[in-house]
Each structure stands twice: as C-alpha cells, then as structure tokens.
Chains A and B, each alone.
Chain A
Amino acid sequence: MFIFGPLFIFFQQIFILITNPINILILFGAVLLGIIFGAMPGLTATLGIALLATLTYGMDIGTSMVALLAMYVGAIYGGSYGSILINIPGTAAAAATALDGYPLACQGKAGKALGLTTTASAIGTFIGMLFLITITPFISAFALKFTSFEFFLLAFFGIIISGNLGSTDLAYKGWIAGFLGLFLASVGRDQLQFYPRFTFGLDELDGGLEVVPVLIGAFGIPQIIQVLKDKVTCGEAKRFQRILPEFTEIIHHFPLIIRSALIGVGIGAIPGIGEDIAAWTAYAAAKNSSKHPERFGKGEIAGVISAETANNACIGGAIIPLLSLGIPGSPPAAMLLGALMLHGIQPGPMLNFDHPLFIFQCGAILLLASFAMWITGMLLCKQVIKVLRIPTPVFMPIVAVLCVIGSYSLGLEIFNLYLMVPIGILAYFLTEMEYPIAPLVIGVILGPMADANLRRALMVSKGSFLPIITRPVSLILVLVIILTVVSQTKWYKNLIRRISEKLFSKKKTKEISSNAFKK
C-alpha cells in the first residue's frame, strides 16, 4: 500500500500529460530544440534552458516544466552529435563521448554509435528519473529537521564542493568564484532590515540582481566571446546511412549501463557538479573495469555507452537536491531553479507541502522526455545534424540577440541588460583564467538563503555559534566542509600519500614473508 499510492499518482501524472496534445507538442518541440542546442558547438544546455525560461514565463508551471525539462534532456543528449560526427563536443557533457565516438565514426560506424548513444541516453534519463521520484521525498522529509544553521552550512557546502570539483586549475579558484557569487547576491536591500547594500544609490539595484539575466550573462556572453574569438568552426560531419538501435549490444553492456547511471545520479546529486564530470567519471570507471582498457580512445563502444548513460542519468540526480533542498546539482539545474522562482515556486523541504504533486510531475515529464528524445533521435537525426553546417559566426550573433531579448523580457528592464554584459565579461575572464563558473552561479542563487539563514540562526541562538557543533547535522556538515577544504592542502595530500605508501609497503612485506614461509 505504501508503494501503490505514489505509483498511482505518478501514472496519473503521466496520463494527464499525454492526454494534453499541447503538452505533447511542446515536449517534442523542446526535445528537438534541445538536441539542436546540444549539437551546436558553443551552445550549451544551460543557455538553452535560460533562453527557454524567458519564453515560458507566461505559461503555467506544468507546461513550462515540460518545455524546460525536455530541453534539458534533449540538449545533454544532443551534445553527442558533435562529438561523434565532427569530434567537437556540442556540450562539455559530451566531451568524453568524443574520445571513442569519433574513432567509431571514422571506422564507418557513426550510425551504430549514434544509435547506441540515443538508447543509452534514454536509459540513463529513465534511471535518473527513478531515483528522482524515489529519493527526493525522503530527503525532503529529512530536510524538514534542518534549522537555519543547517541551511546556511548547506549553501556554504554547495559552494565549497562545487568549487573543489569544478576547478581545472587550483581548487580555491572555485571557492573564489563562489564567494564572488555570494557578493553579487548581497547586492540590494537585505531581507531582514531592508538596508541598501552596494547599490551605489541606484534604485534599480534595490531589489538585488535578477537571477536569470545574471545567469544568461554568465553562461551566454562568455560562450559568444570564446567561440568568435577563438574561431571555433565545425568540420565536415561524418556520413552515415541509418541509426541502428543495437539492442544486443545494449543488453550485453547492461551492467555497464547500470553502473554508469548510478555514477551519473550520484555525481548529479552533489551540488554544482555538472554532467561533464559525471560522464568523465563513468568513462574512467568503464576503462578501469574493462578487460581491454587499451581499446579505449580507439573506438570502444563501452566508452560511448558509459559517458552517454552517465551524463543523462545526471539530470535526474541534479534535480534531487534542487527539489528537496533548493540547491541545484548542476549548472542547467541552477537555471531550472531560476525558472521555478520566476513561477513563484520555491524548491526545498516545503515543496512537498506547497505542491505535493510536483516531484511526481517532474518524474513523469522526465520519463516522457526520455521517450521523446529516443523517438526524435531515431527519426530526425539526419535532419538535425544539418544544423552543424550553419557557420558559427552566423548563429552566435543570433544567440546574442536571443540573450538580450530574453533578459529584457523578464522584467521589461533595460537595466537587466546593463548588468548582463559586465557580468558576462567578468565570467569570460574568469573562464579564461580557469575559474569555474558553476560556483559563481550557485553563489548568486544560494546567497540570499545563506545570508538570511545565518542571521536568523544567530538571532535564535542570541549570537552564539555553539549550535553549529551541538546539532548533529550541522556538525556533520561542518566536518565535511573542513575535510573538503583540508583535502586540498599539500599537508593532507602528503599525509595520504605517506599512509598509502606505508600500507602498501606493509602489504608487500607481508606478501613476501608469507611467500617465504610457504617456501
């Protein structure tokens, strides 16, 4: 009985969605648009969701979620087209796919590779969805026990962990980006006393920075500058006859699919970590566990399947902390959060009370989106890859216009555009200097929550920080934050190395002595 109730609601949501022809039309349209966005180098899933969020502003929340989640699923899958056919990943999430996808295409197996990625992506999305609908309610219920201190620490943890894992250079560059994001969030009148902070006397800044224009600026403008400055061009796409859904191959690799999906969901659930890291981790795991690791990078099917399953499974994973805690699991999920806030929905532990069906609705949309993605991928693949022929200098300026009109149309404020450009340029320079942008965005989104909760918590404790160590969840979060920070120090790394060397040498001596004893 415990299971049947939620299951009934879930299928009811699916039924409601499929019986509305407008929803189906939007579902397929958004998936197709997402695949196009994902396939084109320079356009990302985050940007796609950002632009679509501005268009779906006038729709009801259910319909706009259909459009946004379908776009998300389509864009993450669409990235594989560029990886396989021209060796340029359409999105960062598909970078690992290019390692084996392109060699497969060079061997004349582009159709087979695309068929496998389509099916693997659909299965990955499905598994991610299963975790979303089963785990989210439990985390939400657990999070109800959180007090202001926990929420403050959770926001802090999100920035630290996403900075740690998102940095390609020094980990603290990610933290710096996160704190810059927190600073941007503190601009405007504060929530408790309405005191104007860093507003320079400008009335437009009193309400704080609008999240969506900031996100469009942070993700769109650097992309436009990078692509045009570095002359990113698409090569001639590899030709293929038809996509073959290799079901025997899929069944053969089923354990790998399950493992990659679990990796994808797990990594997605960590705040701020995107689909790209999920794909790389699953790829590395597939290579390490393979009987033929030497084949990886030369056209190994397992490489393509693992990366594509993981990056799509990451979608469900990234939505889990978004809906249960209000903390986005990935940059596109951060954009989803912005869109939800536009519709007046505040994700977090109270979501289940305010909108009891919302999690099941999202699950139902993800399930339908995975079907729509599979069908669209199988039927329209040949047509979609024609977009790869559009020269980047033609479509990037058009994307710039879409960014501008999208940012403007949200609040009908030209001031949003004035903010979008400097933030975009700042994000561009930060990206050039290898600062990850995800922590910055997470900082902007979680800043108000961290600020208000810290002060509220201190008000309750009358200025005492003691509850941080007396409350079990707070203590765990503090310890995890400290461990995450300490793990980046040389001292810690040396310590770990020394311990592992000692253990290893002990094992070796034991082995040698036992061998000698046997002899």
Chain B
Amino acid sequence: MKKRELRRADFITSVLLLAFSAWILIETFKMPAKDTYGGVQNVWYVSPALFPLIISIFIIILGTVLLVHSIQSDGASYFFSSILKRTKFASEKNIRFLSILLALFSFIYLNIPRIDFFISTALFLIFFISAFYFDEINLLKKLTLFYFIGSLIFIILFAFGISKILNSYYKYFIDILALVFYISYVIYNWIKVKNNHIYKKRLIVSLMASLAVPLILCPIFRYSFLIPLPKEGLIIQMMHNIYYFLKRVI
C-alpha cells in the first residue's frame, strides 16, 4: 500500500477502532462490577469487567493517537476527497479478492455443513484452482459468475427448506445435485477453454487435483486418525462400504 493510501486506511481504521472500543466499553458496563453474581459479592478488582475495561481504554487511546496521526498526515482529507471521486471498483485485484472470498465462504459456510465432505472439497478445489490457474481475468470473471449462480441456487435450496423435502425422497439428493453442479462446472469450463491447448492442460490438472486431494485426505482422516468428517454423505458412505468390504475380505 502506498503511504497516502495507508494514511487514508489509518483514518478509517482509527474511526472503526474508536467505535469498536466504545462498544466494548458499553458491553463492559453491563458486566457485574460491584453487585452479586452467582451468589458471590463482587468487588471491582475481581470483576470480569476489569480486563475488557483496560483493553477498551488502551484501544481508545491508541485509536485516538492513530486518528490524530492520520489527520496530520492528510489521511482524512485524502479519504474525504476520494469519496467524492469515482474510483474504479472492478479492478483485477478486487475481482480476484472477491473470487477468493466466494470460494472460501461457499466452502465453509454453505457446503461443509450440508454437503458430503468429499464433494464439497472437490467443488471448492475445482473452482479455486481452475479460476486462478488460467490467469486470465475474463475467464476468472465468467467462472466466478457461474460458480456464484450455482452457489446461489444451493442457498435458495437450503434457506427455504427445499433441500429437506428433496432429501426426504432420497437421502443423498442434495449430494447428487452438488455432483451435478461439479460436472456442469467442468463442462462449462471445458467449453470456455477448448480452443486453447495450454488452458485445456491446466483444466485437466485442476480436475485431477480436485479429485486427488479429497481422495487422499478423506481416508487418512477418517480411517487413520479416526476423525468423523463434517458431513458424511454419498461419497463418504461409498467409501465406508468399500473400506469395510475390503476389511472383511482381507
């Protein structure tokens, strides 16, 4: 970050820090300081509020110092002038950043708690690797949009309880839908890169990595470390069947 931008960021951060420390202070005053809690008569120096109080006071002091410094070094004026100016938001770095966030958020908050761990990992990897490995911004935009729409459909399915209805017909219905999403993403990707020899190679690498990683990790964690995976659905169940069948045979 350039010095000027850094000072602008300092100005924003200092304001956020002051607001944050004010919130800590408010919450702290709600804690028992002198009254009884759990049948124990409190004194101020044993109060659970003491430590957060000290933290908030220090953050207020440091936030104020940062605010003063940012104002003195023109961070505040640069911030106000940049509000009036129209800055280009859709820069390549911002798009890359948003794509990373989409991959992480959809993986952790959407897929892991609800979709078979093998499939959600494969889905995360195929998007994350291929989108960045091609190193082409237009392709990144298209792939991100496709993945975003797919994730949005899943959000609707989960938010309105449709997933539960579908799973009542067949318990791995959502896993199958996720698998369909994976395959359709690969096909869409293939259509986009089929005329470029290098990109085709990269897609194959992405595909292999997206399948090989969960194929190695899931059995290691499940059968060696005996760690139940976050969601064991269609593929993990198949893995169980194979594992216990082999165990019986051998």
Count of B interface residues, CB-CB < 8 Å: 64
> Of all chain B residues, which has the CB nearest A397?
B128
B52 touches A186 (CB 8 A): yes
**Residue among B40, B133, B214 having the largest count of chain A Cβ atoms under 10 Å:** B133
A186 touching B55 in the complex, CB below 8 Å, given contacts A193-B46, A433-B6:
yes
Q: Is B13 an interface residue (CB 8 A)?
A: yes
Q: Is B141 an interface residue (CB 8 A)?
A: no
B27 touches A198 (CB 8 A): yes
Q: Is B44 an interface residue (CB 8 A)?
A: yes
Binary interface encoding of chain A residues 412-439 relative to chain B, with 1 for a CB under 8 A from any of its CBs, else 0: 1010011011000100000011100000
Given contacts A179-B55, A231-B135, 13 further A-B contacts (CB under 8 A): A183-B59, A193-B38, A193-B42, A193-B48, A197-B48, A231-B96, A397-B129, A398-B209, A417-B108, A434-B1, A455-B45, A458-B50, A459-B45
Considering only residues 169-228 of chain B, those with a C-beta below 8 Å from chain A are 205-206, 209, 213-214, 217, 221, 225, 227-228
A228 contact from B24, B31, B100, Cβ within 8 A: B100
28 pairs of residues in contact across A and B, judged by CB atoms under 8 Å: A170-B69, A183-B59, A186-B55, A193-B32, A193-B37, A194-B38, A195-B37, A197-B31, A224-B100, A225-B100, A228-B132, A393-B133, A394-B209, A397-B128, A400-B103, A401-B125, A401-B213, A404-B112, A412-B228, A414-B230, A418-B108, A432-B9, A433-B1, A434-B1, A454-B51, A454-B54, A455-B50, A459-B46
In the complex, how many angstroms separate the beta carbon of B144 from the nearest chain A beta carbon?
Answer: 13
Q: Which residues of B contact A (CB under 8 A)?
A: 1, 6, 9-10, 13, 17, 24, 27, 31-32, 37-38, 40, 42-48, 50-52, 54-55, 58-59, 62-63, 65-66, 69, 93, 96-97, 100-101, 103-105, 107-109, 112-113, 121, 124-125, 128-129, 132-133, 135, 205-206, 209, 213-214, 217, 221, 225, 227-228, 230
Binary interface encoding of chain A residues 265-297 relative to chain B, with 1 for a CB under 8 A from any of its CBs, else 0: 000000000000000000000000000000000
Q: Is A202 an interface residue (CB 8 A)?
A: no
For the complex, would chain B's binding face be called helix, strand, loop or mixed by DSSP majority?
helix
> Of all chain A residues, which has the CB nearest B12?
A433
A58 touching B225 in the complex, CB below 8 Å, given contacts A176-B59, A183-B24, A433-B9:
yes
Q: Residues of B contacting A434 with CB < 8 Å?
A: 1, 6
A421 touches B37 (CB 8 A): no
Q: In the assembly, what is the distance between CA of A382 and CA of B54, in Å?
A: 54
A400 touches B112 (CB 8 A): no
Q: Which residues of A contact B (CB under 8 A)?
A: 55, 58, 169-170, 172-173, 175-176, 179-180, 182-183, 186, 190, 192-195, 197-198, 221, 224-225, 228-231, 391, 393-394, 396-398, 400-402, 404-405, 408-409, 412, 414, 417-418, 420-421, 425, 432-434, 450-451, 454-455, 458-459, 462-463
Q: Residues of A contacting B42 with CB < 8 Å?
A: 193
Q: Residues of B contacting A418 with CB < 8 Å?
A: 108-109
B129 touches A394 (CB 8 A): yes
Q: Residues of A contacting B124 with CB < 8 Å?
A: 397, 400-401
B52 touches A221 (CB 8 A): no
> Of all chain B residues, which has the CB nearest A193?
B48
Q: In the assembly, what is the distance between CA of A172 and CA of B10, in Å?
A: 12
Q: In the assembly, what is the distance between CA of A224 and CA of B97, in Å?
A: 10
B96 touches A455 (CB 8 A): no
Q: Residues of B contacting A192 with CB < 8 Å?
A: 46, 48
A463 contact from B45, B97, B132, Cβ within 8 A: B45
B66 contact from A176, A224, A391, Cβ within 8 A: A176
A391 contact from B10, B52, B65, B133, Cβ within 8 A: B133
A172 touches B62 (CB 8 A): yes
A409 touching B93 in the complex, CB below 8 Å, given contacts A193-B48, A391-B133, A414-B230:
no
B104 touches A221 (CB 8 A): yes
Q: In the assembly, what is the distance between CA of A221 and CA of B101, in Å?
A: 10
> Of all chain B residues, which has the CB nearest A231?
B135
> Of all chain A residues, which has the CB nearest B209?
A394
> Of all chain A residues, which has the CB nearest B131?
A393
A176 touches B17 (CB 8 A): yes
B10 touches A433 (CB 8 A): yes
B44 touches A463 (CB 8 A): yes
B129 touches A414 (CB 8 A): no
> Of all chain A residues, which has the CB nearest B101?
A425
**Residue among B10, B45, B58, B103 having the largest count of chain A Cβ atoms under 10 Å:** B45
> Of all chain A residues, which has the CB nearest B97?
A229
Q: Residues of A contacting B55 with CB < 8 Å?
A: 179, 182-183, 186
> Of all chain B residues, which has the CB nearest A181?
B55
> Of all chain A residues, which has the CB nearest B30?
A197
Q: In the assembly, what is the distance between CA of A195 and CA of B108, in Å?
A: 30
B66 touches A170 (CB 8 A): yes
A394 touching B108 in the complex, CB below 8 Å, given contacts A170-B69, A193-B40:
no
In the complex, how many angstroms separate the beta carbon of A17 from the nearest chain B beta carbon?
Answer: 24
B96 touches A417 (CB 8 A): no
A401 touches B1 (CB 8 A): no
**Residue among A172, A230, A405 having the largest count of chain B Cβ atoms under 10 Å:** A405
A455 touching B112 in the complex, CB below 8 Å, given contacts A398-B209, A433-B1:
no
